[in-house]
Structures are given as C-alpha cells and as structure tokens.
Structure 1
Amino acid sequence: MAVVMNLEWDGVTREQYEAVRKSVDWEGKPPTNALFHVASFSDMGLRVTDLWQSAEDFQAFLEKRLTAGVKEAGIQGEPRVQIYPVHNLFTPGFRAL
C-alpha cells in the first residue's frame, strides 16, 4: 500500500540538504519504489513530503543510503517523521508522456 511520509527537521539548512542530495544521488539512482519527493524550508528548517510504494521501501532507503548521507553532511538531531497510508492521489499538473 502506498504511503506518504512527512518529515520535519528543525535546523537543517539548504546547504546541508543539497550536500545530502549530492551524496545520496537519489535523482541519479532513484530509490526502489520511491514515487514522489518534494522538499521545502520554513523558518524552522527542512520539510519533506515523499510518496513511497510502502513504508518498508522508505525504511530500506533510510537504512541503506540516507542515514550515511545525513551523517556525512553533519546534520544533527532527529527529524519528526510521520507515515500514513495514501487515501487518494491527484496530480493535475502531471501528464504522462
């Protein structure tokens, strides 16, 4: 079952996020069953919303790739992560090729 993962990580900067992107290379080597990723920043820090085929897929990416990239970027603290089953998905801006 598809899930949405919401992450809030106070104190994470744009520079740190970009360092993790480069290190983990999730755009060049997409994680298995990752469907959607959007990152934004508030005054508090990083905010991420992902769509995954399953919570287990996200957990595998976290353990196998993301944790090392976060450590390498020197990010401190712990994020607040919430995972929910997807009830509906509508993407009017996306048109399949």
Structure 2
Amino acid sequence: MTIMAVYLVNAATKQDYDDVKAAIGWEADPPDGALLHFVGFDKEGACSIELWESEAQFEAYRRDRYDPACEQAGLGRLEARVLEVHNAAAAGPVETYVPILESARLRPRAAIGEQFEHGVGGGL
C-alpha cells in the first residue's frame, strides 16, 4: 500500500533541514521504497511530504536513518502523519516534471514515472 508521510515542524529552519538531509544522504543513497520527497518553508517552519511504496519501508527508513539524523541535529524525534494514498494526479505527462524535479535537486527514477503511469499503489 502506497503511503504519504507529512511532517509539520514548527520553528525548523532551512539549516536544520540541510543538516538532517546531509546526515541521511538521501540523494546519494535513496532509501528503499522512497518515491518522492518535497519540503517547503514559511514563517512558521517546515512542511515535508514524502511518498513511499509501503509503510514498512517508511518505518525502516525512519528508524534507521531519519530519527538518528534528527536526534543528531538536536530536533528530537519528529512525528509524521502517515496516510494511505487515495489518489495521485499529474497535470500532464510525467516527463513534464523531470526538469522540475532535477531543478529541485531530486533524483528522478524510472520507478517514479512507472508509479504514476500505472497508478500509485494500484487501483488509482
């Protein structure tokens, strides 16, 4: 079952995020089951949304990589809201988004396009 994990982290800074990201090494060694990761900031802090192939893969990543990196950065254990993906839609062909993903320093993988082309989590 495909899931999305949503983190709302009040008072988190871009530097906090960069420190955690460097410790995790997402770009150099993407976690098993990770499909997409987005983060944005406003005056209150950060919001991160991740798309995962399964909750089990997300929980393994969280236990082995994310929680230790957050502890090391002094953020403690952050809580995520985990939701089953009900729908995913792209406003055009997935290929349209590859340049956007690349400009955001994300590593597009063939599996991302396949997931959207065939329906995230099956039956979408």
TM over 0.5: yes
Compared with structure 1, are the counterparts of its residues 35 and 16 closer, same or farther at alpha carbon in structure 2 (3 Å cutoff)? same
In structure 1, runs of 5+ residues without a counterpart are none
1:81 aligns with 2:73: no
* Farther-moved stretch of structure 1 (80-89 vs 50-59): 80-89
Question: What is the TM-score with the length of structure 1 in the denominator?
Answer: 0.87
Q: CA deviation at 1:93?
A: 6.1
C-alpha separation in 1, matches of 2:78 and 2:20 = 15
* Aligned counterparts of 1:34 and 1:16: Cα–Cα separation in 2: 21
Name the residue aligned to 2:110.
none
Of stretches 43-52 and 82-91 in structure 1, the one that deviates more from structure 2 is: 82-91
Displacement of 1:38 in angstroms is: 0.2
Aligned to 1:35: 35
Percent of matched pairs sharing the same residue: 25
Q: 1:94 deviation in Å?
A: 2.7
Q: Which has the higher contact order (CA 8 A, sep 6+)?
A: 1
Q: Which runs of 5+ in 2 are unaligned?
A: 96-112, 114-124
2:55 partner amino acid: A
Report the secondary structure of 1:60's partner residue. helix
The structure with the largest alpha-carbon Rg is: 2
Q: Provide the aligned length of Structure 1 versus Structure 2.
A: 95
Displaced runs of 4 or more, over 3 A: none
Find the aligned partners of 2:39 and 2:93 in 1 and give their Cα distance: 17
Post-superposition CA distance 1:44-91 (Å, at most 9, x none): 111001000111111110100111111121224x53421111111123
More helix by share: 2
RMSD of aligned C-alpha atoms?
A: 1.6
**TM-score (ref. length: structure 2):** 0.70
Residue type of the alignment partner of 1:10: N
Q: Which amino acid aligns with 2:87?
A: N
